[in-house]
Amino acid sequence: MTKIEMAHGAGGRIMQRLLQEVIIPSFSIRKLGSIGLDEMDDGATLPIGNTGLIVTADAHTVQPLFFPGGNIGTLAACGTINDLAVMGAAPTAMTNTIIVEEGFEIDTLHEIVRSMNDVIEPLGTAMIAGDTKVMPKGTLDGLVMSTTGIGVLYLNAAIADAGVREGDDIIVTGPIGDHGTALLAHREGLKFETNLASDVAPLWEPIRNCLDVSGFHIHAMKDPTRGGLAVALNEFAAKSHVEIEIEDGLVPVRPAVQSLCDILGLSPFHIACEGRAIMAVDSSVTSDVLDTLARFRTTDNACVIGKAHKGASRVLMKTAIGGRKVLQVPLGEPVPRVC
């Protein structure tokens, strides 16, 4: 394969290969703290004096720019906040670059940046730097953005994907697959699914409250974006050297999401979320964490979906009839330009 394919940006195995074989090894200095490029976590650690920072970067190419539940501005802000949050960092500052096509409506641009502010202002996050570039008509489909988030570690320790321990409960903070299926339905004009909306939301407030009640007993967190829950759980398993077993029937999936997936032959486990987190927590704090998540509208359907235990670095799924199958990393996210 010598040319870029859509799957190279889609979060699955093909993207992992591109990053591991081409992009990451091109850089000589790849970390300053314990977590950098090689770890392929949600962000990197940056120790400054006695303060532990987390830095995260995302490009945003979602299409269409406006969708049920938000727009590219909402998505860029939430994606950045959530990458910091699942590393255990408060969202301190952000940068944002905008590349926009000649002829784009300025009012639409205005609405997009205001939507970013609607997400970050209540969290006290400062937008401190940015850049705006214009490309000639026909050379860019509308508008893309890139954000970098800088956060201060809340408990002065980064929460890494590699932190899952044997015996941990695996929690998901809400139903999976809403974002990707909402985009797909909206994009394809599937009007029969009227109640599908993106789950895009910032998760720092519920996560901060969980850290308050459980301290260092939250061992790992991740937001299941591109490639969905299947990718996120497999990263936990691979980096933490544990086997994760989840129960199919425990994973919350909205009926509208499930039926759209059934029609199109997709699995909700492979569909991106933009307002969900998975957590691996010590079983001594599971009920405290669930009680805390239940207090927030964006996480009030949180539940335990499985457990980590000693075993091969893989994810097993127990089906309704008692069988077990391996939940694979998909080749890519089945819905393109989802984030």
Which residues 199-258 are close enough to bind a second copy by CB under 8 A?
none
Write out the binding residues for a second copy, residues 107-146 only, by CB under 8 A.
107, 109-110, 113-114, 116-117, 120-121, 124-136, 139-141, 144, 146
Taking the complex as a whole, the smallest distance from the CB of residue 29 to a second copy amounts, in Å, to 4
Tokens for 164, please give them. 């899952």
The residue (of 43 and 206) whose beta carbon lies closer to a second copy is 43
The residue (of 2 and 321) whose beta carbon lies closer to a second copy is 2
Write the burial class of residue 173 (CB in 10 Å: 0-12 exposed, 13-18 middle, 19+ buried): buried
Q: In sequence order, which residues have a C-beta less than 8 Å from that of residue 229 and are 6 or more positions away?
A: 172, 176, 251, 268, 269, 270, 273, 278
Secondary structure (3-state) at 130: strand
Rounded to whole angstroms, how far apart are CA atoms 176 and 174? Answer: 6
Binding mask 54-93 for a second copy (x = CB under 8 A): -xxxxxxx-x----------------------------xx
> Do residues 221 and 88 lie in contact, with contact meaning Cβ atoms separated by under 8 Å?
yes
> Do residues 179 and 272 lie in contact, with contact meaning Cβ atoms separated by under 8 Å?
yes
The residue (of 31 and 318) whose beta carbon lies closer to a second copy is 31
The residue (of 51 and 195) whose beta carbon lies closer to a second copy is 51
The residue (of 124 and 215) whose beta carbon lies closer to a second copy is 124
Rounded to whole angstroms, how far apart are CA atoms 257 and 227? Answer: 16
Taking the complex as a whole, the smallest distance from the CB of residue 42 to a second copy amounts, in Å, to 9
The residue (of 156 and 287) whose beta carbon lies closer to a second copy is 156
Write out the binding residues for a second copy, residues 1-30 only, by CB under 8 A.
1-10, 15, 18-19, 22-23, 26-30
| Total number of residues that touch a second copy (CB under 8 A) | 86
Taking the complex as a whole, the smallest distance from the CB of residue 76 to a second copy amounts, in Å, to 11
Rounded to whole angstroms, how far apart are CA atoms 20 and 12? Answer: 12
Rounded to whole angstroms, how far apart are CA atoms 183 and 66? Answer: 9
Rounded to whole angstroms, how far apart are CA atoms 152 and 90? Answer: 5
> Do residues 293 and 222 lie in contact, with contact meaning Cβ atoms separated by under 8 Å?
no
105 touches a second copy (CB under 8 A): yes
Taking the complex as a whole, the smallest distance from the CB of residue 141 to a second copy amounts, in Å, to 4
Taking the complex as a whole, the smallest distance from the CB of residue 129 to a second copy amounts, in Å, to 4
Q: How large is the C-alpha radius of gyration of the chain? A: 19
Out of 13, 34, 66, 152, name the contact with a second copy by CB under 8 A. Answer: 152
